[in-house]
Structure 1
Amino acid sequence: MKVQLLVSKWCPVCPQAERIWTEAAQKVPMDLEVLDVAERNGREVVSRLRIKTVPAVVVDGTLKTVGVQPLGEVLKLLGA
């Protein structure tokens, strides 16, 4: 499973989302990629999926959620 977490340097809650998703990646097998929306790879995903807010989570090419979820919600989202 490929998970892309889209973040921004100016986002006040993105570091919290990154911590939660990093912890989830230790519990559930996934390929976690953190992308800054100001960089090329992040802009490509934002443009393709028309993402308007960060943090945003893309799982296997599909936008799944935006905002910060508690670890339990993240694990549920991943089917754990």
Structure 2
Amino acid sequence: MKVQILVSKWCPVCPQAEAVWKQAAEKVPMELQVLDVADREGREIVSNLRIKTVPAIVVDGALKTVGAQPLGEVLKMLGVQ
């Protein structure tokens, strides 16, 4: 599973989302990438998926959610009960 977190330097919520997803990556096998929307790769994903807000979570190429969720909710989203 490939998880990409799209963030921005000006986003006050992004560090919280990044921390939660890093915790989830310790419990669930995944390839985790944190991409700034100001960088080329981040801009391409934002454009292709028409993402309007950050943090945005992309799982296996599909937009899964936006915003920051608690760890329990993230694990449920990943199929861990």
% identical equivalent positions: 79
DSSP 3-state at the match of 1:34: strand
Structure 2 unmatched ranges of 5 or more: none
What is the match of residue 48 of structure 1? 48
CA RMSD of aligned residues (A): 0.3
What is the match of residue 7 of structure 1? 7
* TM-score, structure 1 normalization: 0.99
What is the match of residue 57 of structure 1? 57
DSSP 3-state at the match of 1:6: strand
Q: Would you say how many aligned residue pairs link Structure 1 and Structure 2?
A: 80
Structure 1 unmatched ranges of 5 or more: none
CA distance in 1, matches of 2:11, 2:51: 15
The AA in structure 2 aligned to 1:38 is: A
* TM-score, structure 2 normalization: 0.98
CA distance in 1, matches of 2:61, 2:52: 16
CA distance in 1, matches of 2:17, 2:24: 10
Moved over 6 A (4+): none
Residue 61 of structure 1: how far off its partner (Å) = 0.4
CA distance in 2, matches of 1:56, 1:37: 10
What is the match of residue 31 of structure 1? 31
Residue 68 of structure 1: how far off its partner (Å) = 0.4
CA distance in 1, matches of 2:44, 2:18: 20
